[in-house]
Chain A
């Protein structure tokens, strides 16, 4: 079945460091891919998405490219800030599974000044 495998955390970076959080997926057909962010005590917020191969989603300095050949959707940011500290979830919506989303286990990011 469809699934998402996400880099385990926690990840601790200094401010202005480069961030990569790996995400790979397994799916039949042509899934859509998402990154959500969860701040402490809050719900998930959509960070970015890509709906077809080679699409690049971007928002707030974060980017992720839908790579069908490597079944990956890695999240990157060139210079993290303290305010980026949160848990990041990679998610997939399968093309053959209705509207159900499949989430990774989440990667906790802490950015220190």
Chain B
């Protein structure tokens, strides 16, 4: 059973470009979470999704950021018009359908905005 997969592992973008980060949850997991880790800081919750539904997006910046988890395919975190402050590691986690389950993390995507 493969773990949580994220790609790309590293992404370099220039200011103003778009960044698309992908996350494939573990097999059998229908809950996906995105976190952002700024340098020297802990992880900050961004958004919690189930298939085709955003459950909690209280941690998402109001502008430029969006997330989806379609019926088929990976979850996508999209950052439009990136700025240098978006440079961070973005981690995806997944958990099984039952609530209160442990979250399993992917290796992260390290975004660098030049």
Name A's B-contacting residues (CB within 8 A).
Answer: 6, 32, 34, 36, 42-46, 49, 51, 89, 93, 95, 98-106
Contact = CB atoms under 8 A, between A and B. Distances in A.
Interface stretch (B12-20, B78-86, B97-105): B97-105
Given A43-B91, A43-B107, A44-B91, A102 B45 contact: yes
B43 A99 contact: no
Interface residues of B, number: 28
Interface of B: 4, 6, 31, 33, 35, 41-45, 48, 55-56, 58-59, 91, 93, 95, 99-108
B45 A106 contact: no
Given A45-B105, A98-B56, A99-B48, A105 B100 contact: no
B41 A105 contact: yes
Given A43-B107, A44-B105, A98-B48, A103 B42 contact: yes
Contacts of B104: 46
25 contacts: A32-B100, A42-B107, A42-B108, A43-B6, A43-B105, A43-B107, A44-B43, A44-B93, A46-B102, A46-B104, A93-B100, A98-B56, A99-B33, A99-B48, A99-B55, A99-B56, A99-B99, A100-B48, A100-B56, A101-B33, A101-B43, A102-B45, A103-B35, A103-B42, A104-B42
A14 B5 CA distance: 35
- List the 6 closest A-B pairs by CB distance, nearest first: A103-B42, A105-B42, A43-B107, A44-B105, A43-B105, A103-B43
Nearest to A49: B102
B79 to A, nearest CB: 19
